[in-house]
Amino acid sequence: MISVYTILLLINIFLGFIPLYIEKNKLSNLFFSFWIFNISAWITCNFFIFNSSYFLFFNKSAYIFASLGLASLLLFILHYPSKRITFSPLHWTMILLPLALNLVFIPTHFHIKSMTSLTEIKFGIYHNIWIIIFLSYCISVIYYGVSHQKHLSKSDQSNLKFISIGALIFLCISVTCNLVIPTLYQVTSTYKYGPLSAIIYNSFIIYAIIKKQLLNIRVIINRIIATIISLSSISILFIFLNWTVKQFISENSVFITPVFLIFIILAASSYERFRLILQSTTEKLFLKGHYNYTTLLYSFSASKSFASSISKLSHYISTFFQENLEISPISIYFPERIENQQEISSIFSTSDNKNTNYSLSEEVLSQISKNKELIIKTHTLINLDDHLLNHKYCLKIISNKKNLIGIIFFGKKMNEKPYYAEDFELFKALSNQISISVNQIQQLRKTTQIDIAQNIQNEIIPSQISLPNCNVESYFKPSEEIGGDYFDSFSKENNYWVVLGDVSGHGVGSGLVMFMVQSILSTLIHENNIVSPALLNQSANKILCKNFERLSEKRPMTIATLHTNNGKDFSLHGSHENIFIYRKTDRSTLHYPISNIPLGIGLFEDLDLSLFKDNKLQINSGDILLLCTDGIIEAENQQQEEFGEEKIMTLLKNNASKKLSTIKNNIIKSVNEYSNSILIDDTSLILIQGK
């Protein structure tokens, strides 16, 4: 039995060190190693329960390592191959608090009251609590092991499936032998059989490593072979040098010490370079199929053909670079509105390592656009963004119209090899393939009804708003293809209107209501002599309520309606919280909410006439009026804290002396930085500055 336990323990230790040897800074690798090491410790404790007089101590230790191991397995699944959820303090508390309780109570008599022999054990009250904690971890492992597979690539799904099935079998057997039977019958004789189930789990892991490349075994093979050959070569050279010295130089010569010292210096300085050369050679010798670039291109072409969107294409590219080419890190940039073939001015990135969106600076983008090379070394780019500093090259994606439609930043090879001419030829071929895919996606999107609706919305939302004696800037960005935010401007004779609204919810349904409201307001203004915002909102509310009678779900709309004849004296009416005004005379910023219709328009038709009275507002030279929707105010950071009204007022005050377009850009930039560009609601704003 001792030989079986010893072999099992050695295998576990070996499996635990593999991911640390590959990349110790990767969280999934750390948690995998910690899980394996805890299994090893648990196996060791179970062995010593029957082979030591300190059986009570090792029994309690086994319970601690069992819970630590299962928590590590859960964290590994949540981080494989990269972090899948954002961990809040609540998440960490739910994982770590039970572990802390185990460390406190398991060593006490609350867990095991007495253990007089190997066959007689009495459990305390905390043992039942430990069972609940342990089973909760088991359920979490099964749930996340199944639910997270749909977000992974096929190879990662296969790896996680092997790990999950092996872990499930291992847990069933070990729980039966080491938990169920001892708890029901108060005996420990089955403890020795539970750890043997780790043999089954190890078989699954080893199979996944060898057949499915779970832990990138190629890198380990190359490093080991290259290291052995390098050290052997240096040893042979040392032996030969020693023989030569003895044959041709007297042992008492003063030259012996300098000769060996020079050899040691040369060997130490050239070892790493020599090892990398050998590593490259061994990889080509033992893994020739991996370097068949024709096969790689065919594989990529087959996988990316399933990409129906830019985000899916980005995922295929990222997976291909990291799994097939073994290149990391990888950051992929495409224009936000690439389907419209617009010039890149604001772009997003997709990364497997971090689920984070970044905007590439205009300075770096300009340098890349002007560079005629398809592949650019990143160290030649000035003021490169911090998150791209560990990337070595960028690959440009050029459309058939010679427009820049994408950029791929990538780092070094995981096997530490340099890039060769054939690698760059492969990258150029990939650039052409990706360009074709982007064009296909563009054509696909343009044939869908949702794309047509999006184009209509972009055309309805005015790109410029004109008011007499005022400068006006606006911004609109839907959280989905079609947004529920709405702003518009109308003019009839000497009457000028500005409207900002926010339909409840977002997406297609809210977008359709937005189209409905735009049509209602345009008809009322142009077909009637209305000059009062209150009267306009009253009429629009009645029509909208009539239209909503046919719908199963009402979508009311908060609205702020402004009217002016001269750009100085404004009438104002509606229901909108997010209105702010900066006064130049005393450099003050005021929150100016209006709540004439508390729940907005479209909800109740028969509202009291007293609700429809205009508010008056004057905008003097240098004053700034800001109207925005909830998407800006309620933008959240990673701690789920809202951006808030105070930050808007501070931004407005601190930037009031700048150009209106700069004020707008600074507000949007601040909101994006605060929320990491992850906005869950539509965002719109209008800035009006008196001349």
- Residue 354 resides in a domain: yes
Which sign does the torsion angle of CA 89, 95, 98, 103 carry? negative
Would you state the structure tokens that stand for residue 566, as one six-digit string?
A: 């001269």
- pLDDT at residue number 284: 47
Are residues 396 and 479 located together in one domain of the fold?
no
Among 482, 24, 434, smallest CA distance to 32 is for: 24
| Model pLDDT for residues 118-160, shown as the tens digit of each residue | 667 888 889 889 888 888 888 888 888 777 766 666 667 777 7
Does 295 reside within a domain? Answer: no
pLDDT of residue 290: 44
On whether residue 363 sits in a domain, the answer given is yes
Domain count, the chain: 4
Q: Domain holding 570: CATH number?
A: 3.60.40.10
Of 395-399, 454-458, 529-533, 679-683, the poorest mean pLDDT is in: 454-458
pLDDT recorded at residue 340: 43
Domain finish residue from 446, 478, 508: 446
Q: Look at residue 487 and tell me if it is in a domain.
A: yes
476 shares a domain with 551: yes
- pLDDT band, residue 246 (cuts 50/70/90): confident
Residue 572: the pLDDT is 93
Domain assignment present for residue 356? The answer is yes
User: Same domain, yes or no, for 675 and 539?
Assistant: yes
Residues 243 and 327 in one domain: no
Same domain, 186 and 312: no
Please check whether residues 486 and 613 belong to one and the same domain: yes
In this prediction, residue 186 carries a pLDDT of 72
The predicted structure's pLDDT at residue 339: 44
* Residue-level pLDDT at 345: 40
The mean-pLDDT minimum among 36-45, 140-149, 219-228, 514-523 falls in 219-228
pLDDT tens track for 621-642: 999 999 998 889 988 888 889 9
Instruction: Count the neighbouring beta carbons within 10 Å of the beta carbon of residue 377.
Output: 10
Q: Are residues 650 and 686 in the same domain?
A: yes
The residue that leads in pLDDT, 453 or 639, is 639
Residue 643 has pLDDT above 80, yes or no: yes
Q: Are 646 and 563 contained in the same domain? A: yes
Based on the domain organization, do 251 and 368 belong to the same domain? no
Picking from 417, 446, 475, the residue at the C-terminal end of a domain is: 446
Sign of CA dihedral 518, 520, 523, 525: negative
Is residue 292 predicted with pLDDT exceeding 50? Answer: yes
pLDDT tier, 658 (very low <50, low <70, confident <90, very high otherwise): very high
Query: Per-residue pLDDT tens for 63-122?
Result: 898 889 888 888 888 887 666 666 778 888 888 888 899 889 988 988 888 887 766 788
Residue pLDDT, tens place only, 176-190: 887 788 777 777 677
d(CA 234, CA 564): 87
Say which amino acid occupies 278.
L
Q: What is the CATH number of the domain that holds 335?
A: 3.30.450.40
Checking if the pLDDT of 532 tops 80, the result is: yes
Closest C-alpha to 409, from 333, 476, 358, 479: 333
Same domain, 429 and 565: no
Domain boundary residue, one of 413, 446, 479:
446
Range of the domain at 242: 219-290
Q: Which of 681, 691, 632, 642 is nearest to 474 (CA)?
A: 632
* Same domain for 647 and 498: yes
End-to-end alpha carbon distance in the chain = 91
Instruction: Specify the length of the chain in residues.
Output: 691
Maximum distance among all alpha carbons in the chain? Answer: 116
Round the average pLDDT of the chain to a whole number and report it: 80
Give the pLDDT band of residue 348 (cuts 50, 70, 90).
very low
- Assess whether the previous peptide bond of 258 is cis (omega < 30° from 0): no
Q: Is residue 258 part of a domain?
A: yes
Angle at 663 (CA atoms; ends 494, 514), nearest 5 degrees? 55
Q: Residue 623: what pLDDT? A: 94
Q: Please tell me whether residues 558 and 685 are part of one structural domain.
A: yes
- Check which CATH number belongs to the domain holding 153 and give it: 1.20.1070.10
pLDDT band at 461 (very low <50, low <70, confident <90, very high): confident
Q: Say what the pLDDT of residue 416 is.
A: 64
